[in-house]
Amino acid sequence: MRFANPLFLLMLLVIPVLVWFYIKREGKKKASIRFSSLDIINKVKPAEAGIVKHLFVIMRMLVIVLLILAFARPQAGQKGEEVLTRGIDIMLVLDTSTSMKAEDFKPKNRLEAAKLVVKDFVKGRKNDRIGIIVFSALSFTQCPLTLDYGAVLDFLKNVEIGMTNTDGTAIGTAIANAVNRLKDSKAKSRVIILLTDGRNNRGEIGPLTAAKVAQAMGIKIYVIGAGKPGGAMIRVDDPVFGKRYVKIDADLDEETLSGIAEATGGLYFRATSQGSLKNIYKKIDEMEKTEIKIKEYTNYSELFLYFILPALIIFSMELFLKNTYFRKIP
C-alpha cells in the first residue's frame, strides 16, 4: 500500500497537540458548592454523561485521524509484467528412416535416444515457438509451430521409425519443408535443428540447394550427424530366421551435412552416444537464447473510502448520542 498525497500525513502531528490542550483544559476545571449537609450529595449517582464525556473526545479525534488518512489517498497496488519479446521459431527435423533403429545409443536406439534429448530441450525453452518435422524418403509436419509445449511433447511421443511408410533419406526435402514452415515467421530468429544418421538418397531437392534457400531467407540450420564410426548393430525381422541383429555401416555424408550448416551460418555436430547428443542440444540451447525484455507495471486502486465511511459513521454516532441519550438540558 502507498499514499498518493503523503504530505497530508503531517497533519497527524496536530492530534497530540489537541490531546494536550484537552487534558490541560480539563485539569483547570474546578467547582465548589457549599451545602449545610453532604447527605444529599451522597444520594446523587454520578451522571452518565460525566462518565462518558471523554468518549466523545476520543470519537472526534478518531474522525480527524481517519479523514487525514483519507486525504492522503491510500492506494493498494498490484504488480504485473508484460513480456516484450518475439522469441525464436525452431523447427526440429528428425530422421525416422530404418537406420535410426541402430542400437549404438544405449540404452535404446538412435531415435528413442533423440526423443528423450529433444524432450528435455523443449522443456527448457520459454517464449519460443517449436514445431516438429519427420522424414525418411518422404517428409511431413508432425507438429506445426506452437507455444503449447505440452502439445509438442505429445506429438514427439508419437514419432516412430517408418511412420512415413517409405524408407530412405530425403534430407533436402525435409529442409525444404522446414523452410516452408518458417518463411512467413515474424520471429527475430528462425532456426532448423536437423538430426540424421544417413546421406541424402531420396527426394527431388538436393540438401545444399535447400540450404541455399534457407540462407536466402535468413534461416539458420544446425545439423547433427548421429552414429558411431564403424557402424552399429540393428535388429531386423527376418521372415526366415526371425528377429536377429545385423551390422550396418556408418553412412553419414559429413561433408554435405557440414556444407548445409556452413551455408546458413549454423554448425555441424557429430553425436556418437546419447550423452554427446544431449550435450549438443544443450550447446544449441545456450547459443539460441531468447533475449527477454520485461516491462513491469503496477495498477493502483483507491482505498480512501475505507477511511471516509468509518469517519462518517463515527461522527454520525457522536451527533446522535449528543442530541438524544446524552443531550444537555439548559
Residues of the chain with CATH 3.40.50.410: 88-287
Sequential pLDDT tens for the chain (330 residues)? 788 888 888 888 888 888 888 888 877 665 555 555 555 555 545 545 455 667 888 888 898 999 998 888 888 877 766 655 667 999 999 999 999 999 888 878 999 999 999 999 999 998 899 999 999 999 999 999 999 999 999 999 999 998 887 889 999 999 999 999 999 998 889 999 999 999 999 999 999 999 999 999 999 999 999 998 888 888 877 666 667 778 888 889 999 999 999 999 999 999 999 999 999 999 999 988 766 566 667 777 888 888 889 889 988 888 888 778 767 655
In sequence order, the 6+-apart residues with CB closer than 8 A to the CB of 109 are 100, 101, 102, 103, 161
Determine what percent of the chain falls in helix, strand and coil, rounding each to the nearest 5: 45, 25, 35
Strand order in the sheet with 74-83: 2-3, 74-83, 294-302
pTM of the model: 0.65
Q: Where are the alpha helices (DSSP H) in 45-132?
A: 48-51, 53-71, 110-123
Overall CATH class of domain 88-287: alpha beta
